[in-house]
Structure 1
Amino acid sequence: MTIYGGSGFAGRYIARRMAKAGWRVRVAVRRPNEAIFVKPYGTVGQVAPILCNIRDDNSVAEAMTGADAVVNCVGTFDKGGKNNFGAVQDEGATRIARLAAEKGIGTLVHLSAIGADTEGDSLYAQSKGRGEAGILEHFPNAVILRPSVMFGPEDNFFNRFAGMTRMGPVLPIVGGQTRFQPVFVDDVAAAAEKAVKGEAAPGIYELGGPDVQTFRELMQDMLTVIQRRRMIVNIPFWIAGVMGTVFDAGSAMTGGLVSAPLTRDQVTSLRSDNAVAEGGKTFADLGITPTAMEVVLPQYLWRFRQTGQYADITASARNLRT
């Protein structure tokens, strides 16, 4: 099988699961030398990173030659440059589906996102929606997975905001009342594994964890885990929009060398809830029980505590009587 973007956050978990299930896995990425870490997921030669440019037909086709199944995990938060929203999440996804159909590959699994909509408010949501439409046009029996924000040891959500707590007593956020349904990344990988094995009916699945909380509530829970007290300050959307515009301009002036910490499109996305809609297919249809955040967050956010892994020992020592 071939996993496009198999060294990314979700892709590496899917690659590990498929290797454990006995599959030979090609991890198609732009920089194979930076994906060497996937090799130990299986026996010698079972998991191999290979070069692939998702914008090129020949490159994509070569990567899937001889594969029984294809999984696409490639995504981006960059609306500019060569690997922008349209090139990656629309044209790239459609290209994979078209070539997979031409080659007669039996299974296609695509990792999208909750909120994907060709008529969505944000450019990100629109590109995700167009990608889904392109996939279903060429590969109508595809399985499309739409996770909410994913968490896990390598995430760029809780890790990012936990890191910000080291910078001062204030934790700024945008969209404090926006609702999220965070999902453990390995649960998403389990859904992909079932789809590859033919244990999931074709269609779109929206994947969320057991809890729906506002952005502010999620940050409060995170602060509890890392044992820090910070003032959570919600930045109004209109101010955040101005900030995003300025940051976008700054990033453009540097040719993208300096990434914008907040983009205007992200601000637009944060105006909409990111939770599973009623009536669609979910984890329940896959026979998967999603993992609660409180089970996983302490396993990797401990490093943001003032005493790190020694927090419990330090707290216990304070209770010792002299």
Structure 2
Amino acid sequence: MASVRKLSLSRQQTISLLRFGSRWRCGRVISPLILKNNLSSLVKTGRGGRSSFSGNHVTIFGSTGFLGRYVVNRLGRMGTSMMLPYRGDELDTRHLKLMGDLGQIEFRRFSLRDEQSVKEMVRYSSIVVNLIGREFNTWHFKMDEAMGEGARTIARACREAGVKQFIHVSALNASGDSPSAFLRAKAAGEAAVLEEFPDATIMQPSWIYGREDRFFNYYANLKILPFPFAGVPFLDRGLKTVKRPVFVVDVATAIFNAIHNDETVGQVYELAGPKEYILFDLVEYLYQVLRRPFKPYSLPRPLYNLVAFAFENSPFDPYLTRDILIRQHLSDQLKAGVPGLEDLNVKPTAVEEAALGILRRHRDALHYNETIDELHAP
């Protein structure tokens, strides 16, 4: 009898063989096995889709957040195999399970402070996306820990694992001398990432809006303010602040397109909306969409900071902190010559095109089904 030779396979090779067998039974034509860590284990030919394999294994840090669900959904529709690390309760990930086909999404607990844990998350990945962000300090993580040293830990792990592409999401206006602690932490994270992984792709979105945001929903929820604070408070009536908010779907699409474009490696992209809005005019338009009376008033900065401090120290996640207040009234500034959404083949969505779908649920029943055809753009 001929001797039987025992075949020892790594975890990634085993997964690749299983995928090969399942696709062969489905009658798909697949290229030969590729066993390099920084390349896909299988390259599909023909038409793609949710039940196919795109050829990429992507780790997404921060997938349970606001932007994360849109990025996961976009990648899942193209059959991307994903590793989604999470830190909180497992119920925080349940809405993500339906965004990919069976076996395409893997969830694993990790600790951002444990470098070995982070290395395990990127060990078999060809692409890594870092979406981790924190708008306020918590008992467990300060902003500079999560977005500064945490970004460094992830970038170092990616470099040591031989990751092909690393996409890091920062913020527009990030600067080491910014009055906002959030923007200073984002700037420190950018510098740390480029130091550890020089070919990283940096995304700098302006304030992102969408159904789960903390921008439009903040102003929509101001109706709960008691007297004498009822209305919409501003600093300087919001007339000195210029905003270029960007739609969350556009940002997720930009990240998706960057993954499939090798020319984005080592580039910095500023992701902003197509129009500039005075903050006062923007919020006035939102209240027109909401079908509510717009009652703006100015608060002195010390008094507004006192209100923000009270929200900061509540037992719940605050919609307003002193740092958020600074960023709310900080104008968005784009640098000349820096590529943006159009360079990633994304047509930016104006606020007027998306506002109704986001804010309709905040309307009273009497006005719920009304259109916005008669409204004037800000």
TM-score, with length taken from structure 2:
0.76
Contact conserved, 1:174 with 1:270, CA < 8 A, in 2? Answer: no
Identical positions, percent: 30
Aligned equivalent of 1:170, options 231, 245, 269: 231
Query: Which position in structure 2 is the counterpart of 1:319?
Result: none
Matched, 1:97 2:155: yes
Secondary structure of the equivalent of 1:75?
coil
Q: What displacement does 1:292 show?
A: 1.3
Q: How has the CA–CA distance of structure 1 residues 68 and 308 changed in structure 2, closer, same or farther, with 3 Å as cutoff? A: farther
Matched, 1:118 2:176: yes
Residue identity in the other structure for 2:343: D
Q: How has the CA–CA distance of structure 1 residues 107 and 263 changed in structure 2, closer, same or farther, with 3 Å as cutoff? A: same
Pairwise mapping of residues 28-43 of structure 1 onto structure 2 (< 5 A)?
28-31=85-88, 32-43=90-101
Runs (4 or more) in structure 1 with deviation over 6 Å come to none
Moved more, 114-123 or 162-171: 162-171
CA deviation map 1:19-47 (0-9, x unaligned): 11221012211133311111111111212
Counting helix residues as a fraction of each chain, which structure ranks higher?
1
- Higher RCO (C-alpha 8 Å, min separation 6): 1
Structure whose alpha-carbon radius of gyration is higher: 2
Q: What displacement does 1:52 show?
A: 1.9
Matched, 1:26 2:89: no
Q: How has the CA–CA distance of structure 1 residues 279 and 234 changed in structure 2, closer, same or farther, with 3 Å as cutoff? A: farther
Contact conserved, 1:68 with 1:105, CA < 8 A, in 2? Answer: yes
Q: What displacement does 1:166 show?
A: 4.9
Matched, 1:6 2:69: no
Q: How far apart are the structure 1 equivalents of 2:75 and 2:259?
A: 9
Query: Which position in structure 2 is the counterpart of 1:159?
Result: 217
Q: How has the CA–CA distance of structure 1 residues 81 and 220 changed in structure 2, closer, same or farther, with 3 Å as cutoff? A: same
Contact conserved, 1:38 with 1:49, CA < 8 A, in 2? Answer: no
Aligned equivalent of 1:276, options 317, 322, 334: 334
Q: How has the CA–CA distance of structure 1 residues 26 and 130 changed in structure 2, closer, same or farther, with 3 Å as cutoff? A: same
Contact conserved, 1:179 with 1:273, CA < 8 A, in 2? Answer: yes
Q: CA RMSD in A?
A: 2.1
Query: Which position in structure 2 is the counterpart of 1:85?
Result: 143
Q: How far apart are the structure 1 equivalents of 2:68 and 2:94?
A: 14
Q: What displacement does 1:123 show?
A: 1.4
Contact conserved, 2:291 with 2:367, CA < 8 A, in 1? Answer: no
Q: How far apart are the structure 2 equivalents of 1:310 and 1:80?
A: 37
CA deviation map 1:220-277 (0-9, x unaligned): 11101111112012323343234445555xx2xxxx7345553332333345312433
TM-score, with length taken from structure 1:
0.88
Q: How far apart are the structure 2 equivalents of 1:215 and 1:99?
A: 40
Query: Which position in structure 1 is the counterpart of 2:259?
Result: 196
Q: How far apart are the structure 2 equivalents of 1:200 and 1:124?
A: 29
Matched, 1:139 2:197: yes
Q: How far apart are the structure 2 equivalents of 1:312 and 1:186?
A: 24
Contact conserved, 1:6 with 1:12, CA < 8 A, in 2? Answer: yes
Q: What displacement does 1:200 show?
A: 4.3
Q: How has the CA–CA distance of structure 1 residues 245 and 158 changed in structure 2, closer, same or farther, with 3 Å as cutoff? A: closer
Aligned equivalent of 1:68, options 117, 126, 141: 126
Q: How far apart are the structure 1 equivalents of 2:162 and 2:262?
A: 19
Secondary structure of the equivalent of 1:144?
strand
Contact conserved, 1:148 with 1:276, CA < 8 A, in 2? Answer: no
Q: How far apart are the structure 2 equivalents of 1:22 and 1:197?
A: 13
**Alignment gaps of 5+ in structure 2:** 1-57, 372-378
Q: What displacement does 1:127 show?
A: 0.7
